[in-house]
Structure 1
Amino acid sequence: MDSTVLPPQKPSKTVKRFEPTWESLQQYKCPDWFRDAKFGIWAHWGPQGVPMVGDWYARNMYVQGNPMYEHHCRVYGHPSKFGYKDLVKLWKAENFDPEKIVDLYKRVGAKYFVSCGAHHDNFDCWNSKHHSWNSVNVGPGKDIVGMFAKAARGAGLKFGVTDHLERAWSWFNTNKGADRTGPYAGVPYDGNDPKYADFYFEPHAETSSAYPQTAPESWMRHWQARMFDLIDQYDPDLFYTDGAVPFGEIGLEVMAELYNRNIERRGSLEAVYALKDHEHLKHYGNHGEYREGIGVLDVERGVTDGIQANPWQTDTCVGEWYYQAQCTYKSPAEIITMLIDIVSKNGNLLLNFPVKPDGTLDEEEIWIAEEIGKWMSMNSEGIYGTRPWERFGEGPTRLEAGLFAEREKKAFTAEDIRFTRKGDVLYAFFLGWPTDGIVKLKSLNTDNAPKVVRSVELVGHGEIGFSRTGRHEEGVLVTLPNERPCDYAWLLKIQM
């Protein structure tokens, strides 16, 4: 048996199989490993990273006037002559060392690692049994998902894989077009060549960037077969769908398969299915059906507006999803304060470091990762294994809630506090260093009932003094030392 897959276990008699129905899937319970992990890292990597110009290349290279179309014509040639089928062959991953990458991520504090299985470009990054356009047959000649799975599990990390394939039928169908103007006006792009219909699809008109509305059942079942293969071969601890449940019962069958195979292999349900609620984005098109409780809610490039009853996840990136040579990355401070805010609300952060086409990270990405690691080595006791407190925080600054809401950067202040807890220990992160050297914990004097505080420690420094003034609006005042124990958000360990 492959080392990436656990042998079957005897399930407990109390563990029931899941049926592909909403009612059955809503019996799902998130496993403790995910609730405790808090931080994962993702390699959103595939052939669209070859040009190093960012996201959605396979779609936009066929859209005349788009900057990626212009780039493609300038660097590779017109898409009637050199199409995506040719570009994928340039992905070599010649310097790919999954153990080296995963070792870095483990050292910086990730508890789970996630690989991209297939994006909207209809290319499988694994040894696919149902699709010949995959990373073993074309391009690298390597089972990217399998190599990452082996490295992650060898390092003691949980392993996840992501699916973005379901919208390929429409998203990738721009390859059937032609220029409207210029010397190639009316000349069909290479997606019209019937020799490559297994990659580009048979002729149809839908080009939506959302889930397809006109896809035949044959495509839906083909998508399902590829997902079953991904689950069967690599036994993911986490499975992510880029959207909500696609294709009705066909999608529900994939969810049930993930859960049931996981139970067979572990004896109890330890799998996480992460998916999105796009209800408020319906005007952008159909992104599948979501119901509370069937899995773990994922909020792409955003956060929730408060503590959630169930664990959830933010997925975001230090820059673009695919590698962009001129990208401005998030700073370590931005990432660390985002992590703290998310964890205070019962969430996890899944952070993508875009990988270059040769399989390596650039120097700035490595520096960002190591800065996160230095901070985590000192402050992670307030992150891992924690649970939300009575309130997630206090102070004037709030990250915008909802999908894709992180566009506007916000600077946190010394008044911005975020809380987590373990048993009788309350952790309070203050997200800016106060100029007067006093941290005010107003939440410790709420509803005229002050909390009993026995001691306060500044993590990385030691025990420090505190006082209560009796003024309701100030709560507990903590006196800081002159020197800061780390460069970013600081942690108070409060014994209650």
Structure 2
Amino acid sequence: MPTFSKRELLYGPLAALGAGALSRVVPAAAAAPRGAAGSLRKGKFDATHASLSTYTTPDWFKDAKFGIWSHWGPQAVPARGDWYARWMYVPGHPHYDHHLKTYGHPSEKGYKDIIPLWKAERWEPEALMARYAKAGAKYFVSMGVHHDNFDLWNSKHNRWNAVVMGPKRDVVGTWQAAAKRHGLRFGVSEHLGASHNWWYPNHGYDQFWPKLGIPYDGANPAYADLYHNNRTEPFIDTKASWYTTDPAYHQMWLKRITDLIDGYQPDLLYSDGGLPFGEVGRSMVAHLYNTSIARTGRLEAVYNCKDAGTGEFFKEGMVQDVERGVLKGINPLPWQTDTSNGDWFYNETETYKTSNQIVTMLADIVSKNGNMLLNVVQRADGSLPPESDSLLTDLAAWMAVNGEAIHGTRPWTVYGEGPTEAVEGMFKEKADYSPRDIRFTIKGKTLYAIALGEPRGTTEIASLRSGSPQARGRVVGVDLLGAGPVRFRQTATALSINVPARLPTRHASVFRIHQA
């Protein structure tokens, strides 16, 4: 195999071609759907910044703090992790090599041939949802459509959907029914906005023998409604190219996502990126909010997206999402971290986060006015790998004792103290906490101090020393959740708490503090 430039390895052989050269190699595909989306609901909100700026995050989201996500679909089949549908078309990437050896060459066996292999034959949504609720989740989010352009609902506008192929089940609808039965709010995620450019490599070809110049199956016009008619916009990892500029695609996206909203009435909708497509995206958000008001009599819907670089979106009716990361300090507006206990899609070689890492991340996020949306990895057949199974067991045990310090809480005057602070920003979530690292939450007049490391002997909390500007009164009682009252002393240096030799839970310990 010849050597490739870094650009070619990252973006595929098409990155080296101009549009003219490409048109000579790849057959023309059918045009993308055109025309305006279906009827958008009118109401309090419209597609203007001024209108959306009046949005207020509903209390259910501010109280929930913890949600579980099923980031699941056909890309779990190869068991190689995230972005399989893209990298399988990029020679030099391990996913390409795996696909070639396991399924065949992508000119003959492409992603369309992976979809029928996703059977979900061991998927038990009721049993899983019961476990998610017991693990402390207050909302559940189903994948709606990933960058692979495969709808997991009974889609009116896309024949490539889970009801007619693959598992032949309405995955979104089945998850929704289970979530409602177990008292969880329901959300969906859409990754379709970026699909047009993200999937550009499927129109490529090998630049080496024996398949030199033979187009991959994405170039076949018969599958243009799966692989898109994109021959000119390669995905380069910049904000400008994450979303296409093609107005026909914008309208197709709007039609599909409004169908998802209208059919499943989600309490939460997440977009993987900034708000897509300017005014078109804002009209979708307005539709989501107006539909929520019409259905419930009040605004209950949440729209999550990532920061587009200005921060302005989150003053204009949307809840900021930070992928695999946190914000610095207490944010004045509610926000969300989305993360996973392993790879985004099942990866049989992945290293998983420990239960302790998940619990301490959650405490840090909640102390800063955030929520955690956690993907619990599933195999392609719907079952849980051992790491996901043990995580849910551990979370259920921890939440049974300490959940009151998470759910329904708000930030205190400071988020915490101690030597360790998680680095701000996306993809920077790793932090190793010590027993001196404390995170605070408050509910009414009750303050919670969460020790992120395993406390031994005496725990000292400087923020609660006598006369501290943060302490709003004298400490009159301290309980260790799960163990009962513990001895303490409040001095000019710290609140010193005697820690029992045996802790009630394996992970972060929580002190409930009463002040006069």
TM-score, normalization by structure 2: 0.88
Match of 1:122 in 2: 149
Supply the AA of the counterpart residue of 1:199. L
Report the alpha carbon displacement of residue 138 of structure 1 after superposing the two structures with TM: 1.7
Match of 1:481 in 2: 500
1:495 is paired with a residue of what secondary structure?
Answer: strand
Aligned partners of 1:434, 1:267: CA distance in 2, in Å?
Answer: 47
Supply the AA of the counterpart residue of 2:444. G
Supply the AA of the counterpart residue of 1:58. A
The answer as to 2:380 corresponding to 1:386 is: no
Match of 2:268 in 1: 238
- The verdict on how the C-alpha distance between 1:446 and 1:236 changes in structure 2, with shifts beyond 3 A counting, is farther
Match of 2:222 among 168, 172, 195: 195
Segments of structure 2 that go 5 or more residues without pairing to the other structure are 1-41
Match of 2:478 among 448, 456, 459: 456
- The verdict on how the C-alpha distance between 1:88 and 1:209 changes in structure 2, with shifts beyond 3 A counting, is farther
Backbone CA RMSD of aligned residues: 1.7
- The verdict on how the C-alpha distance between 1:203 and 1:303 changes in structure 2, with shifts beyond 3 A counting, is closer
Match of 1:467 in 2: 489
Aligned partners of 2:468, 2:449: CA distance in 1, in Å?
Answer: 20
Report the alpha carbon displacement of residue 16 of structure 1 after superposing the two structures with TM: 6.2
Match of 2:368 among 345, 348, 358: 345
2:399 is paired with a residue of what secondary structure?
Answer: helix
Per-residue CA deviation, residues 286-333 of structure 1 (Å, 9 max, x unaligned), is xx9834242111111001111011111110000010001121110000
The answer as to 2:153 corresponding to 1:153 is: no
The answer as to 2:307 corresponding to 1:277 is: yes
Report the alpha carbon displacement of residue 446 of structure 1 after superposing the two structures with TM: 7.2
Match of 2:23 in 1: none
Q: Where do residues 174-213 of structure 1 align in structure 2 (5 Å cutoff)?
A: 174-208=201-235, 211=241
Match of 1:430 in 2: 451
Match of 1:6 in 2: none
Match of 1:44 among 55, 60, 71: 71
Per-residue CA deviation, residues 123-170 of structure 1 (Å, 9 max, x unaligned), is 111110001111112211111101101111111110000010011111
- Choose 111-120 or 480-489, whichever is displaced more: 480-489
The answer as to 2:130 corresponding to 1:103 is: yes
- State the identity as a percent: 48
Aligned residues: 469
Q: 1:246–1:289: 8 Å Cα contact kept in structure 2? A: no
Report the alpha carbon displacement of residue 424 of structure 1 after superposing the two structures with TM: 1.5
Match of 1:440 in 2: 460
Q: 2:322–2:338: 8 Å Cα contact kept in structure 1? A: yes
Aligned partners of 1:434, 1:113: CA distance in 2, in Å?
Answer: 32
Supply the AA of the counterpart residue of 1:418. R
Aligned partners of 1:233, 1:109: CA distance in 2, in Å?
Answer: 27
The answer as to 2:184 corresponding to 1:162 is: no
Q: 2:243–2:277: 8 Å Cα contact kept in structure 1? A: no
Report the alpha carbon displacement of residue 25 of structure 1 after superposing the two structures with TM: 0.5
Q: 2:71–2:143: 8 Å Cα contact kept in structure 1? A: yes
Q: 1:146–1:234: 8 Å Cα contact kept in structure 2? A: yes
Report the alpha carbon displacement of residue 468 of structure 1 after superposing the two structures with TM: 2.5
Aligned partners of 1:486, 1:231: CA distance in 2, in Å?
Answer: 40
Aligned partners of 1:212, 1:466: CA distance in 2, in Å?
Answer: 54
Per-residue CA deviation, residues 409-430 of structure 1 (Å, 9 max, x unaligned), is 3221111010011121110011
Q: 1:245–1:289: 8 Å Cα contact kept in structure 2? A: no
Supply the AA of the counterpart residue of 1:415. R
- Choose 271-280 or 52-61, whichever is displaced more: 271-280
1:290 is paired with a residue of what secondary structure?
Answer: helix
